[in-house]
């Protein structure tokens, strides 16, 4: 998301290649080197550039205007970009996948369709479990992330108040932080924590269209707390101790449930070309796999 938005902002032409989750690990490492298995990656002619921060810095060298690191606040923007990459971004991976464990049918909405049918949901259950393993997701880790989320949102608000993000022109920090917040907004249980904050404005301004909807109830306690009183501690209770009497549809699927593969797997590799202004021999590898 971040690299794609930066290329479009600069008006640079590129080809985007969406990789199929799973096999993307081997393909990314072949191009970008051992250990560089996550998206995004950018090929500038034959030069591989891996990771969103490195990509944004390289784009800035190619096309300095409009600047992603404006004079007068470049250092603050770089620090906010680093924070968004190293301290916030993983929540955008873990919390939505954590929620989909409880609402696996919602995986279909991230492909631009509606909730999955029962055979598709059986496939999603298996897929989400493998994704938990890939990202190292555990209930304890989710609880920690949920407890720490309000403080991170407060930090984003302070960055906006200081003028580091939230201006008329997107900076590297706007894109790095905004992309993660936009993904978190797909989780119905998290929206009451985000709505009305500066972070929501940044996310929706630079990433207005992003598919996906995990209905509220994945983290059940949110239904019992008023939005203004919602806290990380309330989410912790939900993640670790679902309330007695929770409907079976809101629980994690039971082991041993019969499964059938859907007739068609989630969207595989596809290519599309942007309509940006300037030609550029670049290939951007993206995907929802990371």
pLDDT in tens, the chain (290 residues): 999 999 999 999 999 988 877 788 888 888 899 988 888 999 998 899 999 999 999 999 999 999 999 999 999 999 999 999 999 999 999 999 999 999 999 999 999 899 999 999 999 999 999 999 989 999 999 999 999 999 999 999 999 999 999 999 999 999 999 999 999 999 999 999 999 999 999 999 999 999 999 999 988 554 333 444 444 444 443 443 333 333 333 444 444 444 444 444 333 333 333 334 444 456 666 655 45
Tokens read off for 259: 């499964």
- What pTM value is reported for the model? 0.77
List, as one string, the DSSP characters of 174-221: HHHHHHHHHHHTTBTTTHHHHTTSHHHHHHHHH-------B-TTSSGG
Closest CA to 12 of 54, 71, 66, 74: 66
With tokens 């022109």, the residue in question is: 169
H/E stretch holding 30 reads helix 24-32
Residue 36 CB-density burial (10 A; 0-12 exposed, 13-18 middle, 19+ buried)? middle
With tokens 């938990």, the residue in question is: 132
Q: DSSP secondary-structure letter at 86?
A: I
Q: Which residues contact 85 (CB under 8 A, 6 or more apart)?
A: 51, 52, 53, 176
Q: How far, in Å, CA of 195 to CA of 170, rounded? A: 20
The reported pLDDT for the residue numbered 183 is 98
Q: How far, in Å, CA of 77 to CA of 205, rounded? A: 18
């Amino acid at each position: 998301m971040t690299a794609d938005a930066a290329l479009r902002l600069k008006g640079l032409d590129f080809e985007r290649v969406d990789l199929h989750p799973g096999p993307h690990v081997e393909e990314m490492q072949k191009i970008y080197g051992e250990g560089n298995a996550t998206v995004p990656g950018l090929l500038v002619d034959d030069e591989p550039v891996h990771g969103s921060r490195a990509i944004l810095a390289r784009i800035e060298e190619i096309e300095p205007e409009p600047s992603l690191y404006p004079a007068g606040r470049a250092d603050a923007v770089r620090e906010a970009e680093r924070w968004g990459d190293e301290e916030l971004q993983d929540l955008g991976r873990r919390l939505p996948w954590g929620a989909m464990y409880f609402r696996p049918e919602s995986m279909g909405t991230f492909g631009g369709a509606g909730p999955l049918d029962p055979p598709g949901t059986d496939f999603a259950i298996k897929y989400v479990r493998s994704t938990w393993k890939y990202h190292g997701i555990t209930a304890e880790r989710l609880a920690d992330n949920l407890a720490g989320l309000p403080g991170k949102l407060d930090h984003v608000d302070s960055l906006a108040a200081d003028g580091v993000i939230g201006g008329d022109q997107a900076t590297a920090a706007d894109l790095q932080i905004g992309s993660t917040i936009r993904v978190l907004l797909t989780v119905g249980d998290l929206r009451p924590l985000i709505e009305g904050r500066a972070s929501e404005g940044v996310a929706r301004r630079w990433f207005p269209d992003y598919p996906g909807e995990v209905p509220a109830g994945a983290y059940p306690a949110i239904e019992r707390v008023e939005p203004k009183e919602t806290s990380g501690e309330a989410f912790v209770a939900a993640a670790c101790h679902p309330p007695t009497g929770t409907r079976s549809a809101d629980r994690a699927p039971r082991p041993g449930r019969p499964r059938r593969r859907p007739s068609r797997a989630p969207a595989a590799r596809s290519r599309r070309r942007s309509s940006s202004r300037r030609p550029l021999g670049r290939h951007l590898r993206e995907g929802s796999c990371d």
